[in-house]
A and B are shown apart, each in its own frame.
Chain A
């Protein structure tokens, strides 16, 4: 009888153990319900396209084209902060980007670290798309495949080029000694992979290969990349690829190719010629001359917050008087210019009533002041300036078309504009001035100075009580023209080489 009880007890205990053993599946072998397993996915063309959407979403990151409170906007407004376009307002700044604004960054500056990381997130998404898209391509969906693949190539080129703009000491096309950054064509999660920095030549070769692939593929698609009607153009179509090609060639000094690509882009999107069409690009009331914009929706921090904290009307930075003034009668952009109204509004500092100009181009859509606004990555105005500059630098007969482009652009912007006649250096300088006007607050000035004069010289009010910034000039020889490779990535990847001077 005892043995029976013992037997029963053992059976009971075993049963309980087995019961818990069976629950191994419920307890131990768990998979996420709120995330997509990346081992077996993307598993369809639809999911590949969704990863492409992820690549676009990554452009919105605070440290890419979006912004945080007084931080980020690295490719949308930071180059203006780091140049002579803006001054830091002592009375309103929280000094969150002091290290960037005053060029006192170093290899351990947090902003540099996130600046180095952000484009690689986009590249990772693009590489996943390019890795998997062919798996789901059939003869029936070639157009879909081309549309997805073309955008992925274009985004991969865009993100790499953005890295080059900050981290390469020089922009020379053919240098085999100057270093750009690593050009990544494969998505790999591993602690043992150590990418190396490509030389400028190899880097440009890869860039051109990608962008030309994009142009080819986007020429044969199942449907338009962007909605044909609509107030924004949130995806990179063939025009955007041409625009990117034009910009890359401009940096590379390939003047003829830059002009050709710009022409291709201009042919796709004519210049905006009215105030409504121009302002509408910034507050999403008109598609204007947009070629490609990063789309920000309600609640997603647009580019503004680095410079102008839209929701509380606080200007951490304001435009220098050389650019524009509250009176609108002096400076590069005056009140007879469509850009004046699109870019600026007088927003006095808290507790004062003195008119004071703020950068309000990204203040909000359609009259809102929530800082949700799109960032124009490419628009036709820049293409005119690229073509003008390229032609001016080619010189000779090309100066005629350069001058024509300058006058066309000015006529579209300035009311009552009288065409000018310029040649040589005067023409090049006039185009550069126009570029400063046109591209103000769109993330170009620091790079334009870097590829041309290599000096920043900040006039008033730098160094006064109004802007107690400690640094007003950046010399051509300064190491700060190229950002340092972040220290911890350098430690993690010994194949990387630090930029000179750091």
Chain B
């Protein structure tokens, strides 16, 4: 103990001597527009000496010999300032995504970008925050090279399909891993999260970047860091947006009343209309789209506050989003709250982040071919029938209860009488504790724990008046589920510089456990007018069809990992990153649960070399190379969480039994992903033009694959296995140029373009046809496989097809199917142009997806001549009718024509329905004005900005539907298109 006291004495002496030779420096730190920056850190001689206050002012004491200080603040570029002796006026510029001074956050660590060899992109948080999406992932579209974001639907709150460097798994999961403040959160589950709370979104793309998530990082990682508090006085911000959304242009027109009646008469008048009836119906022209769609109103508000002292800082927010869908009755309401607290006390750092979100989603069925989906009704209902009878105001049901004459359920009844509601409660809580060992500078231990809890409640009510619901007097389906996941990471880290050597490293252990439970029931007998549980009639022997059904399920899985990360730098020129790890997952066979992964990355800062200093071309030039492996445990859904053979419950005649449920595979093992990455970062012309080029080769082997087997021996048609190799190779280009950089006027263009080539390298069998698509070695995933359609034979109206030998035939055979391209665009990217003039800013983002084809089943549904009792595609009016007719629409009849023509059965797996799914889209346009600080004067308002923005205002495509943006190989039907939105917004800080 005595030793310690004497040490303390020496230390105090040192401090005392130091202060004797100090000088004071004062100054003010502001943004480019004059707003003060509070909480900015001032460093001198490599250590923090102070911070700015709420007005941006600072006073520090530094040794007399100090000649410069470094000012840094999150979100701004660091700036080194030479001391002049007077009061300093320091302006910081906004950090841009590719700035070399920027740090990158990999979740476990943050590291200066220039030292990091991994391939990482950082999404512009401003873009993510401002775009009014119910699910933030949609706002990532076009933000970063190598990251493909395709909206699944325009239904408010629906998530997007996000792929980082292509699909790596044939049948397993391809969804990236989402990490929020160090813990895993459920992907595709963002409707209850507020992107306004996000501070950074980093996208980890290659082996070395995602190696730290070795067990789960095979599909890339999206690391979200939430906003943290800044020291200084309390700062409030209020952000609001109000706007409206509309239906995009329909490129698949159906017939109007006149056309439909004409067509029916041409097809033999199936309803037997008299001339008078037909003439009267021709004039109806009811617009089903107008009856079911509307202009939706969106509003969102967020109030946030941040503040604290150097020792303790916090950030808190509340938000509200109300987004009406463009389909009537649909929409999302969301309420969120968050608080983050960080503390630095002595050698301890600790903090918590708590977030709760509640959302209520009213939806409508989509992406199906069900008669009862209102979105299908919009296309299929005959235009001479109405939602409601104008004479009585009652729903038209001329085809029996709930039905239109054609046998199509009345879509308006399905939409307005039924309801479809999902309620979600989501809580994400994170906490960390860090201890810096006093005896060895740079050594610290950290433990980070968090939970992600989601509770869902989905209710689907089928009104007893609607089509098909009479038999059981309606149906009420309620399903509840909850998912609980905890992630814990504990590490011992060391970081120190020795002269020219920089060392940083850590040893980690991590545990992730996921637990899911669900419960649901379906009840009947809604005879008393109530549409909730109060309306249920309890079933009994007397009314057996009112007996409710109940169900429940549960599953869990876990991951246990041990890993080490080691970074070494020499002379600020050479950097090495090494990661080694061992991961275990509960999803694999006993002997294959654990697997080893590792990666190595090298960075060479070429511009720091002596020989480069003479060339004036490069302001910055770095060359990076990496190779690494990581694993995927996102097994195909139908395999379940456990690799053992299982029985599942089965009931017969009221008695419970067992039937084989899972074939199991005790040798099931990790899918392994190996990525090689080569990257160059550069900036030239005094940093006016900067960019990155990445080349990568991503090879995924031991593919999760359900091998098809003859069901004879076990009743199973597939057995889970690890066979096959899939490869993604590509090039990513990111450029950012300051075209004009003047005092008041700036023009910046940034662009990212990706080419990703996806190929199947190895498969369990030569090729495998799966409906419209084929798996074939040498071809990409999701390759469409269809018979080429060769128009109509003018002599007899038969559809013609092209055989493999290019000859034309009237006889369809699946043997003539050929490869047709893929639905996953190999070319995609985004181009953003921003202009600023004084307080005004204007930006436009143009995204593109090129060279993709998508099967249009939405069209197939209204072309199939069998369905002529319902409305049809307007082009069918050009149907072949007489010998000699030149047209592209074959005769509707399928039989032979008395020996003059062979049978003409309707065929759908033909290129007639294959369309170019490429598109260019003006994703976002924003015009904003930031009020100068002077103007705000003494109003008490620190900063103010107003803006107006538009989403999806313009789309160029040849695809014939509402919207070319769809996932999967086919647009199935009942499309809920992406919204065309316009909002005005306001940001105020005070």
Q: Which segment of B58-66, B640-648, B879-887 sits at the interface?
A: B640-648
Cβ < 8 Å to B, chain A residues 1-54: 1-2, 5-6, 9, 12-13, 16-17, 20-21, 23-24, 26-39, 41-42, 47, 49-54
A366 CB contacts on chain B under 8 angstroms:
544
Judging by beta carbons under 8 Å apart, are B509 and A16 in contact? yes
> CB-CB contacts of A94-127 with B at 8 A, as 1s and 0s?
1100100010101010100100110011111100
B719 CB contacts on chain A under 8 angstroms:
189-191
Judging by beta carbons under 8 Å apart, are A492 and B707 in contact? yes
> CB-CB contacts of B853-875 with A at 8 A, as 1s and 0s?
00000000000101101000000
Judging by beta carbons under 8 Å apart, are B658 and A488 in contact? no
Judging by beta carbons under 8 Å apart, are B657 and A108 in contact? no
Judging by beta carbons under 8 Å apart, are A24 and B545 in contact? no
A364 to chain B, nearest CB (A): 7
The answer, yes or no, to whether B915 is at the interface (CB within 8 Å) is: no
Judging by beta carbons under 8 Å apart, are B471 and A369 in contact? yes
Judging by beta carbons under 8 Å apart, are A470 and B708 in contact? no
The answer, yes or no, to whether B15 is at the interface (CB within 8 Å) is: no
Judging by beta carbons under 8 Å apart, are A314 and B407 in contact? yes
Contact A37 B644, CB 8 Å, known A20-B560, A191-B707: yes
Q: Which segment of A136-144, A292-300, A387-395 sits at the interface?
A: A292-300
Judging by beta carbons under 8 Å apart, are B664 and A38 in contact? yes
Minimal Cβ-Cβ distance residue in A for B659: A54
* Interface size, B (range): 35 or more
Q: How far is the CA of A313 from the CA of B402 in the complex (A)?
A: 12
> CB-CB contacts of A264-297 with B at 8 A, as 1s and 0s?
0000000000000000000000000000000101
The answer, yes or no, to whether A468 is at the interface (CB within 8 Å) is: yes
Minimal Cβ-Cβ distance residue in A for B662: A35
Contact A193 B657, CB 8 Å, known A53-B650, A314-B407: no
Q: How far is the CA of A190 from the CA of B509 in the complex (A)?
A: 37
Identify which of B649, B651, B903 contacts A471 (C-beta below 8 A): B903
The answer, yes or no, to whether B611 is at the interface (CB within 8 Å) is: no
Judging by beta carbons under 8 Å apart, are B765 and A492 in contact? yes
Judging by beta carbons under 8 Å apart, are A28 and B545 in contact? no
Judging by beta carbons under 8 Å apart, are B586 and A29 in contact? yes
Judging by beta carbons under 8 Å apart, are A351 and B490 in contact? no
Identify which of A1, A122, A370, A470 contacts B905 (C-beta below 8 A): A470
Judging by beta carbons under 8 Å apart, are B509 and A182 in contact? no
Judging by beta carbons under 8 Å apart, are A468 and B893 in contact? yes
Judging by beta carbons under 8 Å apart, are A108 and B644 in contact? no
Minimal Cβ-Cβ distance residue in A for B557: A30
A361 to chain B, nearest CB (A): 17
Identify which of B558, B651, B721, B864 contacts A26 (C-beta below 8 A): B558
Minimal Cβ-Cβ distance residue in A for B648: A35
Judging by beta carbons under 8 Å apart, are B270 and A465 in contact? yes
Contact A124 B710, CB 8 Å, known A20-B488, A35-B661: no
B214 to chain A, nearest CB (A): 15
The answer, yes or no, to whether A489 is at the interface (CB within 8 Å) is: yes
The answer, yes or no, to whether B498 is at the interface (CB within 8 Å) is: no
Minimal Cβ-Cβ distance residue in B for A92: B407
Judging by beta carbons under 8 Å apart, are B560 and A42 in contact? no
Judging by beta carbons under 8 Å apart, are B652 and A56 in contact? yes
Q: Which segment of B156-164, B187-195, B548-556, B919-927 sits at the interface?
A: B548-556
Judging by beta carbons under 8 Å apart, are A470 and B895 in contact? yes
Identify which of B405, B468, B554 contacts A312 (C-beta below 8 A): B468
Q: How far is the CA of A27 from the CA of B490 in the complex (A)?
A: 16
Q: How far is the CA of A38 from the CA of B663 in the complex (A)?
A: 9
Judging by beta carbons under 8 Å apart, are A350 and B399 in contact? yes
A189 CB contacts on chain B under 8 angstroms:
645, 663-664, 713-714, 716, 719
> CB-CB contacts of B660-685 with A at 8 A, as 1s and 0s?
11111000000000000000000000
Contact A34 B405, CB 8 Å, known A120-B715, A190-B713: no
Identify which of A17, A47, A187, A349 contacts B407 (C-beta below 8 A): A349
Cβ < 8 Å to A, chain B residues 746-774: 765-766, 768-769, 771
Identify which of B549, B593, B712, B896 contacts A120 (C-beta below 8 A): B712
Q: How far is the CA of A70 from the CA of B398 in the complex (A)?
A: 23
A31 CB contacts on chain B under 8 angstroms:
642, 644
Judging by beta carbons under 8 Å apart, are A53 and B509 in contact? no
Judging by beta carbons under 8 Å apart, are B866 and A182 in contact? no
Contact A195 B558, CB 8 Å, known A57-B652, A295-B653, A297-B654: no
Q: How far is the CA of A471 from the CA of B895 in the complex (A)?
A: 6
A476 CB contacts on chain B under 8 angstroms:
none
Judging by beta carbons under 8 Å apart, are B659 and A57 in contact? yes
Q: How far is the CA of A17 from the CA of B556 in the complex (A)?
A: 22
A42 CB contacts on chain B under 8 angstroms:
658
Contact A370 B894, CB 8 Å, known A351-B271, A488-B708: no
The answer, yes or no, to whether B28 is at the interface (CB within 8 Å) is: no
13 further contact pairs, Cβ within 8 A, besides A26-B513, A90-B866, A110-B771: A20-B509, A27-B584, A32-B644, A34-B554, A54-B660, A57-B652, A108-B814, A182-B710, A184-B713, A186-B713, A193-B713, A298-B547, A311-B469
Query: Could you tell me which B residues sit within 8 Å of A by CB distance?
Result: 3-4, 268, 270-271, 371, 398-400, 402-407, 437, 439, 445, 447, 467-472, 488, 490, 492, 507, 509-513, 522, 539, 544-545, 547, 549, 552-560, 562, 584-586, 593, 640-642, 644-664, 707-717, 719, 721, 765-766, 768-769, 771, 813-814, 864, 866-867, 869, 893-896, 903-905
Query: Could you tell me which A residues sit within 8 Å of B by CB distance?
Result: 1-2, 5-6, 9, 12-13, 16-17, 20-21, 23-24, 26-39, 41-42, 47, 49-58, 60, 90-95, 98, 102, 104, 106, 108, 110, 113, 116-117, 120-125, 128, 181-182, 184, 186-191, 193-195, 232, 234-235, 295, 297-299, 309-314, 349-351, 364-366, 368-372, 463, 465, 468-472, 487-489, 491-493, 496
- A sample of 9 inter-chain contacts (CB < 8 A) reads A20-B488, A26-B513, A35-B649, A35-B661, A38-B645, A38-B646, A54-B647, A468-B895, A491-B766
5 closest Cβ pairs, A-B complex: A53-B657, A54-B659, A27-B558, A124-B715, A470-B894
